[in-house]
Amino acid sequence: MAGPRISRTKARERLSSAPVFILVEPQMGENIGATARAMLNFGVSALRLVRPRDGWPNPKAAAMASGAAFVIDQARVFDSVDEAIADCQYVVAATARQRDLKLPVMTPAEVASELKPRINAEQRCAILFGGERNGLSSDQVARADAILSVPVNPAFASINLSQAALLVAYEWSQLSSDGEETLPLAEEPPAAREYVGHLVDQLEASLEASGYFFPAEKKPSMTRTLRNMFARAGFTESEIRTLHGVIKSLQRDNSRK
């Protein structure tokens, strides 16, 4: 079904001002291609892949993408979620399972409304989608600021990867580009995930040396909580640098004792 035509310039503007879709360990090339089509249908083009099972490029994905080859051709591949979100300032994780993490849970429409003013304020935002078999792990969800949950029939909650992407992209497209809300521009925007990750790595190493992670079997959940706390804090780069200095000072002080 054909829709109204818009100029190529306007189309490019819409594509450049949209969230990044990140598929984590996708299995079938056909699902990647179908996701690319759903994205481009509604003005989203930035696609990133984390460890696609069948490698990349994938001819099945290209064939399924059909007219959305543009999305497939520019897709970027990463070895980990941390690398894929390193330059992002706000991340949403799509998951149907309940988690122990204290994260806000939003519908696709609510996610779109949250992302729009952030992207207007030139923040890079991303949505994580898990693989077809297992979805996102708790550690991966802990990297996010919020959870995206689609309100489906509880008796049959399974939803295809491309369908989930289509729902989010559709809600994104419904927000008008005219008179849209913009977050007040702060003097300094939130730091990208790369800087937050380095800080948490430094903190974990210091806590490990001090014996904080006890008993040992609780370390994964304790680490997950720490990462989630710092991911949601919204620290700026200058604040991150200050915290690096604080941790180094405490490390030096402990070494003198």
For residue range 175-201, list pLDDT tens digits in order: 855 445 555 545 677 888 888 888 888
The last residue of a domain, from among 142, 173, 204: 173
Separation CA 175–CA 152 (nearest Å): 22
* Residue 181 within a domain: no
Residues 218, 121 within the same domain:
no
Residue with the bigger pLDDT between 227 and 29: it is 29
The answer to whether position 120 is within a domain reads yes
State whether 163 and 204 are in the same domain.
no
User: Does 54 score more than 70 pLDDT?
Assistant: yes
> Of 143, 173, 203, which residue sits at a domain end?
173
Helix or strand run (H / E) with residue 37:
helix 29-41
pLDDT band at 255 (very low <50, low <70, confident <90, very high): low
* Residue 217 domain flag: yes
Q: Do 206 and 124 have their domain in common?
A: no
Strand ranges in the chain using DSSP code E only, listed in sequence order: 20-24, 47-50, 76-78, 90-94, 105-106, 125-129, 146-148
Identify the domain containing residue 55 by its residue range: 8-173
Structural domain includes residue 169 = yes
Check whether residue 123 and residue 32 sit in a common domain. yes
**Does one domain contain both 162 and 200?**
no
Burial class of 1 by CB neighbour count within 10 A (0 to 12, 13 to 18, 19+): exposed
**Of 196, 221, 192, 194, nearest to 101 (Cα)?**
221
Range name among 14-18, 66-70, 112-116, 210-214 with the lowest pLDDT average: 14-18
138 and 34 together in one domain: yes
Domain count of the chain? 2
| 149 and 225 part of one domain | no
pLDDT at 33: 97
Residue 213: inside a domain: yes
Residue 187, domain member (yes or no): no
The answer to whether position 244 is within a domain reads: yes
pLDDT digits (tens, 9 = 90+) for 108-155: 999 999 999 999 888 999 999 999 888 999 899 999 999 999 988 888
Are 47 and 111 in a shared domain? yes
Q: pTM of the predicted model, to two decimals?
A: 0.81
Q: Which of 118, 142, 173 is the last residue of a domain?
A: 173
Residue 182 resides in a domain: no
Query: Which domain CATH number covers 97?
Result: 3.40.1280.10
Distance CA(149)–CA(94), nearest Å, equals 6
**Which positions ≥6 away from 25 have C-beta within 8 Å?**
50, 51, 52, 53, 130, 131
The pLDDT of residue 184 is 52
Per-residue pLDDT, 154? 81
Number of neighbours of residue 206 by Cβ within 10 angstroms:
15
Closest C-alpha among 10, 91, 8, 14 to residue 48:
91
Mean pLDDT across the stretch 243-255?
80
| Residues 14 and 131 grouped into a single domain | yes
Please tell me whether residues 167 and 197 are part of one structural domain. Answer: no
**Judgement on whether residues 28 and 57 belong to the same structural domain of the protein:** yes
Buried b (16+ CB within 10 A) or exposed e, 52-63: beeeeebeebbe
- Beta bridge partners of residue 236, listed in sequence order: 190
Q: Other CB atoms closer than 10 Å to residue 160's CB: what's the count?
A: 12
Indicate if 80 and 140 belong to the same structural domain. yes
